[in-house]
């Protein structure tokens, strides 16, 4: 008989301890991207069901704690900055960036950034986890708990500011809802209202 203890079981995602919130949370503007260099900060932003950002080089993290930098979208960066959860520093100039500066930079990267941000903020404030929805042909995929923990509740396509919903948008929304078998939502950023299309099998 061996006196060696049995090997310990590898912790699952549910067993992994939640990252401790760092006192100082900084992100940097690097070559037009918003990057969190400190893995402790990145793990806290992504972990604990928050799901902000994406660990660099890790497509589907198996743990809340990782050792890679974290890249934030401009939507996430502005939201976190507005909530006072991070500082964003221009890496070259070593200057803190304001919300206005981030908005200006983001508007160059996103088509109609302000409309998308209005809906992103509204959904996050309602307690949803909001992730990119490009693979489904939408702006956002929206979760109750987050990717890897549950399936997306619905997909969101954002209308432009001060626009009206067209008949063609309704037809396309219905088709996409049928294709992906999910609820598809057209979001009005001006009124912060939502038009829901749901796939059903007859």
pLDDT above 80: residue 7: no
Domain region containing 163? 112-202
Specify whether 119 is located in the same domain as 199.
Answer: yes
Mean pLDDT, to the nearest integer, of 166-190? 80
Specify the DSSP class assigned to residue 35.
E
Whether residues 101 and 181 share a domain: the answer is: no
Task: Decide if 48 contacts 64 (C-beta within 8 A).
Answer: yes
Any idea what DSSP says for residue 11?
A: P
For residue 182, being part of any structural domain is answered with: yes
Q: Do 86 and 122 reside in the same domain of the chain? A: no
Confidence of residue 16 (pLDDT cuts 50, 70, 90): low
Mean pLDDT for the chain overall? 87
Residue 202 pLDDT class (50, 70, 90 cuts): low
CATH number at residue 79: 3.40.1170.20
pTM (2 d.p.): 0.84
Burial of 177 (0-12, 13-18, 19+ CB in 10 A): buried
Q: What is the DSSP letter of 140?
A: E
Residues 95 and 183 in one domain: no
Q: Which pLDDT value is given to residue 131?
A: 97
Q: For residue 65, count other CB atoms closer than 10 A to its CB.
A: 17
- The predicted structure's pLDDT at residue 60: 85
Q: Is the pLDDT of residue 41 over 90?
A: yes
- The half-sphere exposure of 62 on its side-chain side, counting CA atoms within 13 A, is 3
Confidence of residue 6 (pLDDT cuts 50, 70, 90): very low
d(CA 69, CA 60): 14
187 domain-assigned: yes
177 and 165 within one domain: yes
Structure tokens at 100: 């206005």
Tokens at residue 129, please? Answer: 């986890």
How many angstroms separate the CA atoms of 137 and 117, rounded?
Answer: 18
Mean predicted confidence (pLDDT) in 27-50:
96
Q: Which tens digit of pLDDT belongs to each residue from 89-131?
A: 999 999 999 999 999 999 998 889 999 999 999 999 999 999 9
* 48 burial via Cβ count (<10 Å: 0-12, 13-18, 19+): middle
Q: Which of 68, 85, 110 is the last residue of a domain?
A: 110
Within a domain: 32: yes
- Angle between the N-to-C axes of helices 99-109 and 113-125, in degrees from 0 to 180, rounded to the nearest 10: 120
Same domain, 86 and 136: no
What residues pair up with 156 in beta bridges, in sequence order?
140, 185
Of 45, 76, 110, which residue constitutes the final position of a domain?
Answer: 110
Structural domains counted in the chain:
2
Sign, CA torsion 120/123/128/134: negative
- Residues involved in catalysis: 143, 151, 182
Q: What percent of the chain has pLDDT over 90?
A: 57
């Amino acid at each position: 008989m061996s006196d060696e203890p049995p090997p310990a079981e590898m912790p699952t995602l549910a067993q992994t301890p939640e990252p401790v919130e760092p006192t100082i949370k900084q992100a940097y503007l690097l070559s037009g991207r918003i990057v969190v260099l400190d893995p402790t900060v990145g793990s806290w932003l992504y972990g604990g069901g928050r799901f902000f950002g994406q660990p660099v080089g890790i497509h589907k993290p198996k743990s809340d704690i990782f050792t890679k930098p974290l890249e934030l979208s401009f939507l996430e960066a502005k939201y976190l900055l507005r909530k006072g959860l991070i500082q964003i520093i221009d890496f070259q100039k070593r200057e803190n960036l304001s919300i206005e500066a981030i908005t200006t930079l983001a508007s160059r990267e996103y088509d109609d950034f302000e409309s998308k941000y209005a809906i992103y903020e509204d959904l996050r404030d309602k307690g949803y986890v909001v992730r990119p929805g490009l693979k489904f042909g939408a702006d956002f995929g929206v979760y109750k708990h987050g990717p890897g923990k549950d399936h997306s509740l619905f997909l969101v396509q954002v209308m432009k500011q001060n626009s009206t919903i067209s008949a063609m948008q309704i037809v396309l929304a219905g088709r996409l809802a049928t294709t992906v078998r999910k609820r598809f939502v057209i979001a009005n950023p001006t009124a912060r209202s939502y038009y829901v299309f749901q796939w059903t099998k007859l």
